[in-house]
Amino acid sequence: MAERIEVISKIVDARATSLAKKFTAQKFAVKSVAIADIYTIDSSLKRTQLSQIQEMFVNPVTQQLLTLQELHFDYAIEIGFLPGVTDNVASTAREMIEDFLKVKFSLHDGVYTSQVIFISGNISKEDTGRIAHSLYNPVIQRASTKSYSKYLRDRGMDRIVPRVKLTATQKVDSVDLHISDEELVRLGKSGIPDADGTRRGPLALDLLYLKTIRAYFDTKKRNPTDLELESLAQTWSEHCKHTIFADPIDDLKDGLYKTYIKKATSDIRKKLGRGDFCVSIFTDNSGAIEFDKDFLVTHKVETHNSPSALDPFGGSITGIVGVNRDAIGFGLGAKPIANTYGFCFAPPDDNTLLYKGPNKTQPMLSPRRIMDGVIAGVNSGGNCSGIPTPQGFLNFDVRFKGKPLVFVGTVGIIPKKNKGKKMYVKKARPGDYIVIVGGRVGLDGIHGATFSSEAMDSGSPATAVQIGDPITQKKLSDALVKEARNLGLYNSITDNGAGGLSCSVAEMAKESRGCEVRLNKVPVKYPGLAPWQIWISESQERMTLAVPKRKWKKFAELMKRRGVEATVIGEFTHSGKCSVYYHKEKIMDMDMNFLHNGLPRRKLTTTFTQVKHSEPQLATSENLNNSLLKILARPNITSFEFISTQYDHEVQGTSIIKPLQGRGRVNGDASVMRPLLSSNKGLVISQGLYPSYSDIDTYHMVAAAIDTAVRNCVAAGADPARIALLDNFCWCSSTDPERLGQLKRAVKACYDIATVYETPFISGKDSMFNDFKGYDDQGNPLIISVPPTLLISAVGIINDIVQAVSLDVKFPGDLLYVIGETHEELGASEYFYLLDHDRGIDIGNSVPHVDAYKNTKIYRAFHSCVRKGLITSAQSVGRAGLGVAILKMAMGGLLGINIELNKLPGSFSRDDFVLFSESQGRIVLSIAPQNKKEFEKTMSGIPYGLLGIVTADQKVVIKGIKGKKIVNMDMDTVLEAYKQTFKDY
């Protein structure tokens, strides 16, 4: 019988106090809250063993076992996981028990955790139900409630054991594809039918693909097995093959990726010649550039949007821990050294609900819960893994309400060579064992790849949700990257991400030209999984390796000593076939060539309509204090210190320019780090993203994103000649020719801008269907599409970290300059959005244009000044323009500024437009007065303007074009505006 160990704090519990505060804020008459941690152990234990386990789980100084007598409350809520959901605390509990008792639990034993929340106060049964609802997520958790009297009567909560019980047959079905077109479409959309008529979930294969598959199997004179069809669905998914970027589009027969992204990089590399710093691009799990003569730096950014909408915590932790594996899976294994993030949410104060189902069924989580959960997931994933998370941003738009965009990235480092062997080259050889290491396989994450290749609607599968387990991965990562790699114990490695084994094994099998897999050897979390489920499950924390037979023993021993499970599941071959067996039965027998290259190319066509917005007619204002303060408080601009401080950004000891800078603790736009403690060479990482510009023109949206990422990097001290880029496209409705037209313009901008900056793309990813199809709070059908968005992530190099530049002004009397030109470019700007909010105006058309040739000169000149040590502080001018940039510098230094706008290079006629224009290519900076001559000499030929000086009086004074004071405020007022929005988050 299952035993419950119930542990409660005997002193004040901060977790309970903070819950009580939350309930009170939600207007429940809660007096006090207590939390009990429950461990349900489903294994036969002796009484003495049980009491020993209790001793391990209860801290005698602060905790005790829960006893009925001492408890007084009104309602109790128990929240636990649904069967099969990853329960990390339970894994630790189980490991502790096994280590202590020196036993190994069987597949039928289990440990599960839950929490009971005891609430005292004047609350009703209905209140309790609503409180429970605000605490748990029905996609992954269960909740039950009891009143005090019922609790006493039952002597506690019910004894629930969320064991997975599977009834599905382990038989392999063959799937008849000789059915009507209509039936084929249904098969593609809803999946393979089971005997009872239910469908297994989306294959996301369209009619053309299914007919191609049918034709292939006709030549083999048989139908595909369910596993073969699922396998093709994974491998051919938009998520894995990026067909929209690969297929011919209009007149571009090589498709968008080859024509613009890949070509940008190859053209740049040609031009750089011997100065080329790209080493491994596009082909591996991350892209890599040269860091110094001995090391490479890798970078990769992913999105995890759909899962984060359903289970924000699980979605984002899986995202961050997953992208870590893109570093670990680069070459023979890079060590993750930094995480990046970027979250696009709906405004968190939006309380109207969305529903996936009609008649107010299947409610979506509120924007605030999605925001809180996503932030917490990256916290847990990054912090637990010991990888610093310095760099990130928030962006808000009501159109992120259906699906948030959750960008997560990981920078890695890897030696170029080990014992003469290139570490960035890998090749599985015929005869090598196929080995999987790390976590076990369960039902979690089935159909993740095909799911994310579709819009989210009422049919979105709940099994698509996984929860990452950073500790299992940390053990795996350390054992591989810090040990097995350097011992040369394997020939190749890749991540198990989307599509699970079906993708990772088939992908590596390209290196040897074939594989033979024994699926029954794959370790599972619980019995009863069907072979196709094992093959495509996306259960996390697994890597697939090619281990030479003669090295297996040594490899297996090492993994065992590190507490990492490693299993041989087959062999790489050169048969040209991907063969899979389940016990003796051959259940997949497919030509590698068909699997990887058999998908037909579809010709995409696009249309493009230039949208015309009306230009806002605005009265001029003499005083811009209020506008500036309001803009500082907007969610896109305001301080997100609460995130920066809950993400460890100093682990590994590499932090140089931190996420919060200066006395005023201002969020910067770039982070500088020192990846090797023994070297002064540094890395600069930054990002750029402007979804709102897409409403005017996606070309300029992209141009601004690239320019901003590059400029942020340069402003922090990076060498503009040593910056590489990553592109992450998050599009919507990508079957719509108009959306594809926007995409085509956008990708062209990637080529146009990057080639001028000579900043190669080294890796990228796309997520093309960020649409929500459901119902609003009145039950009316509704489609919400995200604005077409490109995130550009930049990674740059700075030769000497001591030359890194922070944003805070440092001394009264220092001179403030702006470099770059200011024009009246306010289309879709933060200022127009602010006014829109206030007065309901349109966004205009004058979106900023990037002059990459001019900007290149500006950035190079700025960098010369950095190398000469002239720049004492700098802030790249981004969203919301010059006014905010200058205020950030002043807040950073907690010093006043006194400036005039009349010496600004550019063209303009209004003070508010000067202050809030988002013209690209500008940096504000300060220098010591004695360096004026040297600075201006270095800047000759570059548009620059002397704005004014830093003052000691903590006053912000800005004089307009005509010399009148347009801003005059105290630093305290400015700081308060900047920090108030998320103060209580």
Partner 1 sequence: MKPKALIFSGYGLNCEEETAFAFETAGATAQIIHINDLIAKKTLFSRFQILVFPGGFAYGDDIGSGNAYAQKIRNHLWPEIEQYLKGNNLVIGICNGCQILINLGLLPGINLQYGKRQVALLHNETARYIDRWVDLKNESNSPWLKDIKSFSAPIAHGEGKLYATAETLQELKKRKLIALRYFKGEMCNYQNLPANPTGTLSDIAAVTDETGRVFGLMPHPERALFFTQLPNWPLLKETYLRNKKTVPTFGPGLQIFKNAVRFYQ
Nearer to partner 1, 372 or 936 (CB): 372
Where would I find the beta strands (DSSP E) of 629-770?
Answer: 655-657, 660-661, 666-667, 670-673, 682-688, 723-730, 761-767
**Is 756 among the residues that bind partner 1 (CB under 8 A)?**
no
**Sheet architecture: strand order including 492-495:** 492-495, 542-547, 433-438, 566-572, 515-518, 577-582, 585-591
| Residue choice 142, 562, 630, 857 for contact with partner 1 (CB under 8 A) | 562
Q: State in angstroms the smallest separation of the CB of 594 from partner 1.
A: 43
- CB count, 10 Å around CB of 423? 21
Pair 491, 509: CB distance under 8 Å: no
Cβ 50 to partner 1 shortest distance, Å: 16
* Of the candidate residues 51, 100, 605, 738, the single one contacting partner 1 (CB under 8 A): 100
Q: Are 793 and 409 in contact (CB under 8 A)?
A: yes
The answer to whether the beta carbons of residues 321 and 437 sit under 8 Å apart is no
Span near partner 1 by CB under 8 A; candidates 26-34, 324-332, 381-389, 775-783: 381-389
Length of the chain: 985
Answer yes or no whether residue 95 interacts with partner 1 by CB under 8 A: yes
Judged by CB, which is closer to partner 1: 518, or 562? 562
**Is 645 near partner 1 (CB under 8 A)?**
yes
Interaction of residue 104 with partner 1, rule CB under 8 A: no
Residues with Cβ within 8 Å of residue 409, at least 6 apart in sequence: 299, 300, 301, 302, 323, 339, 340, 341, 726, 793
Stretch that binds partner 1, among 583-591, 764-772, 797-805, 838-846 (CB under 8 A): 797-805
Q: Does 93 bind partner 1 (CB under 8 A)?
A: yes
For residue 940, CA distances in Å to 8, 821, 857, 904 come to 70, 14, 11, 15
Cβ-in-10-Å burial (0-12, 13-18, 19+) of 979 comes to: buried
Stretch that binds partner 1, among 90-98, 316-324, 496-504, 623-631 (CB under 8 A): 90-98
Q: Binding to partner 1 by residue 982, rule CB under 8 A?
A: no
Q: Give the residue with the Cβ less far from partner 1, 619 or 677.
A: 677
Helix (H, G, I), strand (E, B) or coil at 309: helix
Of 885, 874, 962, 880, nearest to 917 by C-alpha is: 880
Q: Does 801 bind partner 1 (CB under 8 A)?
A: yes
CA distance 661 to 639: 11
If one asks whether residue 928 binds partner 1 (CB under 8 A), the answer comes out as yes
* Among residues 193, 386, 548, 635, the one that binds partner 1 under rule CB under 8 A: 386
Asked if residue 976 binds partner 1 (CB under 8 A), the reply is no
Q: Which stretch binds partner 1 (CB under 8 A): 198-206, 249-257, 352-360, 468-476?
A: 468-476
174 or 383, CB closer to partner 1? 383
**Minimum Å distance from CB 13 to partner 1?**
7
700-719 binders of partner 1 (CB under 8 A): none
Give the whole-angstrom CA distance, residue 672 versus residue 663. Answer: 18
384 lies in the binding site for partner 1 (CB under 8 A): yes
Residues with Cβ < 8 Å from 887, sequence gap 6 or more? 628, 632, 956, 974, 978
Cα–Cα distance list, 605 to 72, 244, 740 (Å) = 68, 11, 8
Residue numbers 11-40 binding partner 1 by CB under 8 A: 11, 13-15, 17-18, 37
Sign of CA dihedral 823, 825, 829, 834: positive
Q: Which residues 265-284 are close enough to bind partner 1 by CB under 8 A? A: none
3-state secondary structure of 380: helix
56 binds partner 1 (CB under 8 A): yes
From the list 153-161, 176-184, 357-365, 651-659, the region that binds partner 1 by CB under 8 A is: 651-659
Of positions 43, 308, 379, 728, contacts partner 1 by CB under 8 A = 379
Candidate residues 650, 738, 838, 972; the one interacting with partner 1 per rule CB under 8 A: 650
Q: Collect all residues with Cβ–Cβ distance below 8 Å to 389 and sequence separation of at least 6.
A: 320, 338, 339, 340, 341, 378, 382, 383, 647, 648, 649
Count the residues of the shown chain that bind partner 1, applying the rule CB under 8 A: 72
Cβ distance to partner 1 smaller for residue 375 or 637: 375
Question: Per CB under 8 A, does 857 bind partner 1?
Answer: no
Using CA of residue 523, residue 526, residue 528, residue 533, what is the dihedral sign?
Answer: negative
CB atoms inside a 10 Å sphere around CB 838: 10
Give the shortest CB-18-to-partner 1 separation in angstroms: 4
One-letter amino acid of 75: Y
Token code pair at residue 64:
């005790």
Smaller CB distance to partner 1: residue 136 or 260? 136
CB of 314 to partner 1, least distance (A): 15
Decide whether 260 or 862 has the Cβ nearer to partner 1.
862
- Quick note: the x/- pattern for partner 1 over 390-429, rule CB under 8 A, is ----------------------------------------
Q: Is 369 in the site for partner 1 (CB under 8 A)?
A: no
Judged by CB under 8 A, does residue 658 bind partner 1?
yes
CB of 929 to partner 1, least distance (A): 11
If the CB atoms of residues 150 and 663 are measured against partner 1, the closer one turns out to be 663
Asked if 322 is part of the footprint of partner 1 (rule: CB under 8 A), the reply reads no
Q: Which of residues 502-561 bind partner 1 (CB under 8 A)?
A: 561
Among 49, 92, 362, 973, binds partner 1 (CB under 8 A): 92
Q: How are beta strands 896-900 and 944-951 bridged, if at all?
A: antiparallel
Q: Identify which of residues 329 and 664 has a Cβ nearer to partner 1 in the complex.
A: 664
Minimum Å gap between C-beta 354 and partner 1 is 28
Binding flag, residue 62, partner 1 (CB under 8 A): yes
Residue from 96, 135, 524, 782 touching partner 1 (CB under 8 A): that is: 96
Minimum distance of partner 1 from residue 925's CB (angstroms): 13
Residue 61: CB minimum distance to partner 1, A: 4
Q: What part of residues 346-365 is at the interface with partner 1 (CB under 8 A)?
A: none
The stretch near partner 1 (CB under 8 A) out of 9-17, 233-241, 567-575, 585-593 is 9-17
Residue 649 as a binder of partner 1 (CB under 8 A): the answer is yes
Q: Residue 481's closest CA among 422, 433, 539, 415?
A: 415
The interface with partner 1 within residues 803-832 (CB under 8 A) comprises: 804-806, 808, 810-811
Distance in Å, CB of 804 to partner 1, minimum = 7
CB 604 within 8 A of CB 735: no
Answer for which of 24, 49, 54, 88 binds partner 1 (CB under 8 A) is 88
Binding-site member from 636, 646, 845, 980 for partner 1 (CB under 8 A)? 646
CB of 435 to partner 1, least distance (A): 20
Counting contacts by CB under 8 A, is residue 318 touching partner 1? no
Would you list the DSSP string of 538-578?
--SSEEEEEE-GGGHHHHHHHHHHTT--EEEEEEE-SSSEE
Cβ distance to partner 1 smaller for residue 275 or 563: 563
- Exposure string over 590-629, b if 16+ CB within 10 A, otherwise e: bbbebbbebbeeeebebeeeeeebeebeeeeeeebbebbb
Judge whether 413 and 342 are in contact, CB under 8 Å: no
Name the nearest CA neighbour of 837 among 398, 354, 368, 353: 398
362-370, Cβ contacts within 8 angstroms, sequence gap of 24 or more: 362/458, 362/774, 364/309, 364/402, 364/772, 364/774, 365/137, 365/309, 365/312, 367/400, 367/401, 369/312, 370/308, 370/309, 370/312, 370/345, 370/346, 370/404
Backbone angles phi, psi at 98, to 5 degrees: -60, -45
